[in-house]
Structure 1
Amino acid sequence: MSEIVTALAGAGPLAAGWALHSMWTWRRLDASRRDPLSGLPTRAAFERHATRALARGPHVVLLIDLDDFKALNDTFGHAAGDEAIRATAASLNEVLAYCKGSVVARLGGDEFAAVVPVVIPAAVPRLLNGLHSMVTAPFAYQGQSLNVGASLGACLTRDLPVVSLSLALGRADEAMYAAKRNGGGWCLADGSAPVRLARSGRRGRAAGQGAA
């Protein structure tokens, strides 16, 4: 009996060491799957999680591209652009925190993506309005209030002939560019046809308060 107690006591530090090592390894893996600027998952991680999510039921697939982002960088510097990326990520997280099971990511540059479970399809326009309003809201940077515009493209997976992340992203991409051509806002893809412009929001611009 004493030998068993001694063995368990000796195993304690070893087990604790392995637990710490496992935690450290998990954190490194998690960090490698996240964009360091926005803190959101990267494209590869998004595709894995989003594919699993779509298999569980109807979703809306979103692509978000910031408008006037280059103008923001050129006028206020790349640090301001970085702050716009962080602010966009925070806005997406804030809105989608109320949609359990959502997956959001930064695909690269000023482009973001998300998949959101759909319970009531008729509520999707309200979701798109809310996302557009939050993303284009002013953010603080070095004592100034800046903002950028955004173009959102959306696709309801229930409208697709086959539920596929790549197909949904393709439809959302078409819708996003339709919104961009219309001056920003959001556009909902038809799914069975190219694109139906559902509604366009007002386009924001990169500017400080009182700028000409």
Structure 2
Amino acid sequence: MDSVLRFQARIGHRALLLTTAALPLTGWTVHAITLHRRLAAAKKDPLTGLLRRDAYTARARQVLRRHGDDTAVVLVDQDHFKDVNDTMSHAAGDVVLMATAARLTAWAGPRAAVSRLGGDEFAIVLEMPAARREVRLAQLVQMLRVPVTLDDGQVVDVAASVGAAACDIVGTRDLSVLQRAADAALYEGKHSGRAHLATAAYATLPSVNGRRAGRPGTSLWGRVA
């Protein structure tokens, strides 16, 4: 009987040691998970869930390295967005931005870099071979013209201007140069109802922080994402 009791005591002591050791490990695990979630959240825009500027830049450069000349940079600017905020409320504007973000994510696919640069402006870097480029951009413009239904049932007519710069056309894989060219193309075709594709000349236009000189919001480029 004594031997049985001593064996049970040893088992109980070991179990206590294991439990005691597991407690701090569990605490660190919870802390690590919480920290990871906070870091992941810091990389994303809180409204749309799209990548913020730094995370977008890192992902975009990965896409450029992976796909080379088949890569394109696409910039999107919501048309008449101020009118939505002014006449329907900022809450309605938020719904429109979230809808646009969801559409861009669905269109670009999981391997693309999709970002909200700030306000109603977005950027995508993705694989887009020349043979599919025209069709893909036309699909994007069509998606962005689908009306958005608000929580109260109201329907908002929406549209967006789209500018794109492809590595094989512009002649570079430099992200900043491609963004500059795409931005110039976007404003060249503003409110045209179709995507505007940059030529190599667009990359040489004067710019401020990577955006066409004189266009609205140039001072904000890179500050908010």
Gaps of 5+ in 1: 196-212
Cα distance in 2 for residues equivalent to 1:160 and 1:6: 67
Cα distance in 2 for residues equivalent to 1:74 and 1:50: 34
Residue number in structure 2 paired with 1:106? 116
Q: Quote how far apart the aligned CAs of 1:134 are.
A: 1.2
Conservation of the 8 A alpha-carbon contact between 1:154 and 1:176 = yes
Q: What letter corresponds to residue 20 of structure 2 in structure 1?
A: G
For the pair 1:85 / 2:94, whether they are aligned, the reply is: no
Which piece of structure 1 moves more, 139-148 or 101-110? 139-148
Aligned partner of 2:146 among 137, 156, 179: 137
Cα distance in 2 for residues equivalent to 1:39 and 1:194: 31
Q: Quote how far apart the aligned CAs of 1:64 are.
A: 0.2
Cα distance in 2 for residues equivalent to 1:63 and 1:8: 56
Aligned partner of 1:176 among 174, 183, 186: 186
Q: What letter corresponds to residue 127 of structure 1 in structure 2?
A: R
Kindly tell me the number of residue pairs found equivalent between the two proteins: 190
SS at match of 2:140: helix
Structure-2-length-normalised TM-score: 0.77
Q: Which has the higher helix share?
A: 2
Q: What letter corresponds to residue 113 of structure 1 in structure 2?
A: A
Q: Deviation per CA, 1:55-100: give whole Å up to 9, x if none.
A: 1223111100011111111221111111110110111112223xx5
Between the aligned residues of both structures, percent identity stands at: 37
Gaps of 5+ in 2: 1-9, 204-225
For the pair 1:124 / 2:133, whether they are aligned, the reply is: yes
Conservation of the 8 A alpha-carbon contact between 2:148 and 2:158 = no
The 5-angstrom pairing of residues 11-22 of structure 1 reads: 11-22=21-32
Q: Quote how far apart the aligned CAs of 1:130 are.
A: 1.4
Q: Quote how far apart the aligned CAs of 1:164 are.
A: 0.7
Q: Quote how far apart the aligned CAs of 1:114 are.
A: 0.5
Aligned partner of 2:198 among 184, 189, 206: 189
Structure-1-length-normalised TM-score: 0.82
Q: What letter corresponds to residue 85 of structure 1 in structure 2?
A: L
